[in-house]
Structure 1
């Protein structure tokens, strides 16, 4: 039961093999979209569009800043299309990811350790601008701002609709650059305007007004932002959950204990929020976006599993205004408002 006898696909490049998620039913109304690396869709869609438009050509150098999974995705896509790749890497990029980047032919500038991810992010952007000043022929991918990164996710939205054809869907995902949320929810709403979007944020992120807070252990680099991102379309979100590192860790460990899924910290945070939402809306199917595997969180999260709080004991504080926002876990109806949100 649960096995398939269909003939496996033969792929011409690894990017086609790893881009689609595995869809795993976690409960009656909760499904996990588990990726090896979510950002393959973003990088593939963007590079294919740029090549088609003639904006870049084989042999050109693509440059961008990344905390990890976009860097690897972009390097893989550059490998596929004969493009050069230069990554300005966050201090959080692991030796394993850096080694893969270098083997794929990417050149890497890795930022030295900073007091917090805000300083790390500012330094990375400054370094990209420095590189562009010295070599105007580089193409800055601008994953945080260029909507071309949203295009590739339409393919995933179609896969989800095929797998869950009659479901009233709620997408639960880390906000991050905003590209995956926008790229998924827009085609979903073309089919069903009632499809909901729940975004996850760490404390300290500017995207949804928590920049006045600091979480010293926060390494959820892929779901928050120290600078405004144009690809974050606030008017698409129905609900926002903010949580600390320790709550995201609790969700990550709970996901593995309950379902044997080894996934990253942003996936654990989304899982924790989705459990809460799913209990309150049993009529809807909650699709949890699992952006990457747990490999880069082994030391910070998985080896500390005995420290993890029981996720079943955790609950958010429901707020109605950003003025009420407070750690360790707050949740609010955003109601598809603009960037200012409710105050």
Structure 2
């Protein structure tokens, strides 16, 4: 083992592992792995278990759903599995309107768990795929008004489960200034964690990651043909993204996220997904600029569903140590392959109109508009 990989931190003494009553309890807690002196990775098998469990428990407690009822939602993969497992645990039925990107392994798991799977046909782009999924959900609700639409992209109930993750972070990491780095996606994981941590009085900076082509932070006019946008960004507005929580935003193309994922496996023997790779690359740069601050990287899932599109192409990967972002001040300056902007906890660009320059966004605030689910 080279000195670069040597772990100078003592291995903690652990007690006997608990016996869990259900697999969701075992899956929800991440492994905390030190990637460097001031960088810790929270690596999950599927982080969405927190969102699904927290939402289902809250809805049951409030009486908005009852055992035996069918929960329906649209998903590109890991939320679908998390919701199916939560339904399995609490005696609920599950109906998933699945993205065309859901593979046969994921579909088989869902079906064995008892979920009904409606999978969208192949499409030219993921915007069309997402629009088809929403249309199908609406058709189901029209036919079956007893179904409950989970609305993972828009119902803030999905923030609830991440308070438990925040408690874990508080207990495991030193009470010091913290930077959280993670893909924005639906907004619930980064937003839910950081909101809960800030409520404790802790100083927390939030660094969000977006792909080019996502409407969430204004890069929809770019196209990245190789991008796997699902789970990192969105081609339709997500109501659960609270833009005012984010301090910094990085936009990365597929090749840079791939470099991060391959680099994470090469350097730290950690097999994780594309969003984790993007977060690893971003955190490496952020931590280098601010070595006194602790950085927590969110690793949402494993690398299995990226085996062919990312890891089988490892010889094509760039050396992440040679990659640097292009700092920008306004969205007008946004350019691939990697840009970074101090967002400064600004509001949603969808609630502003082009006009006089205002701060870093280069737009003028207007009244909020309704976001269509």
TM-score (norm 1): 0.98
Measured after TM superposition, the shift of residue 270 of structure 1 is 0.7
Aligned residues of 1:220 and 1:266 also touching (Cα < 8 A): no
Q: Distance in 2 between matches of 1:229 and 1:254?
A: 30
Structure 1: 4+ residue segments shifted above 6 A: none
Aligned residues of 2:214 and 2:229 also touching (Cα < 8 A): no
CA offsets, 1:215-250, max 9 Å, x none? 111114101011111110000000000011111000
Counterpart among 173, 179, 183 of residue 164 in structure 1: 173
Matching residue of 1:34: 43
How many residues get paired? 343
Measured after TM superposition, the shift of residue 269 of structure 1 is 0.4
Matching residue of 1:208: 217
Matching residue of 2:3: none
Measured after TM superposition, the shift of residue 134 of structure 1 is 1.0
Matching residue of 2:283: 274
Aligned residues of 1:65 and 1:128 also touching (Cα < 8 A): yes
Q: Distance in 2 between matches of 1:146 and 1:195?
A: 24
Matching residue of 1:221: 230
TM-score (norm 2): 0.90
Q: 2:76 aligned with 1:67, yes or no?
A: yes
Q: Distance in 1 between matches of 2:190 and 2:266?
A: 27
Measured after TM superposition, the shift of residue 168 of structure 1 is 1.2
Aligned residues of 2:97 and 2:137 also touching (Cα < 8 A): yes
Which secondary structure does the structure 2 equivalent of 1:77 belong to? helix
Measured after TM superposition, the shift of residue 39 of structure 1 is 0.4
Q: 2:149 aligned with 1:149, yes or no?
A: no
Q: Distance in 1 between matches of 2:102 and 2:345?
A: 33
Aligned residues of 1:168 and 1:194 also touching (Cα < 8 A): yes
Aligned residues of 1:252 and 1:269 also touching (Cα < 8 A): yes
- Gapped regions of structure 1 (runs ≥ 5): none
Matching residue of 2:31: 22
Aligned residues of 2:261 and 2:274 also touching (Cα < 8 A): yes
RMSD: 1.0
Counterpart among 335, 338, 352 of residue 329 in structure 1: 338
CA offsets, 1:139-163, max 9 Å, x none? 0000000000000001111111111
Q: Which moved more, 1:11-20 or 1:162-171?
A: 162-171
Measured after TM superposition, the shift of residue 112 of structure 1 is 1.1
Q: Distance in 1 between matches of 2:200 and 2:67?
A: 37
Aligned residues of 1:144 and 1:230 also touching (Cα < 8 A): yes
Q: 2:307 aligned with 1:298, yes or no?
A: yes
Which secondary structure does the structure 1 equivalent of 2:64 belong to? coil
Q: Distance in 2 between matches of 1:30 and 1:192?
A: 21
Q: Distance in 2 between matches of 1:57 and 1:272?
A: 43
Which secondary structure does the structure 1 equivalent of 2:163 belong to? helix
Which secondary structure does the structure 1 equivalent of 2:114 belong to? coil
Matching residue of 1:175: 184
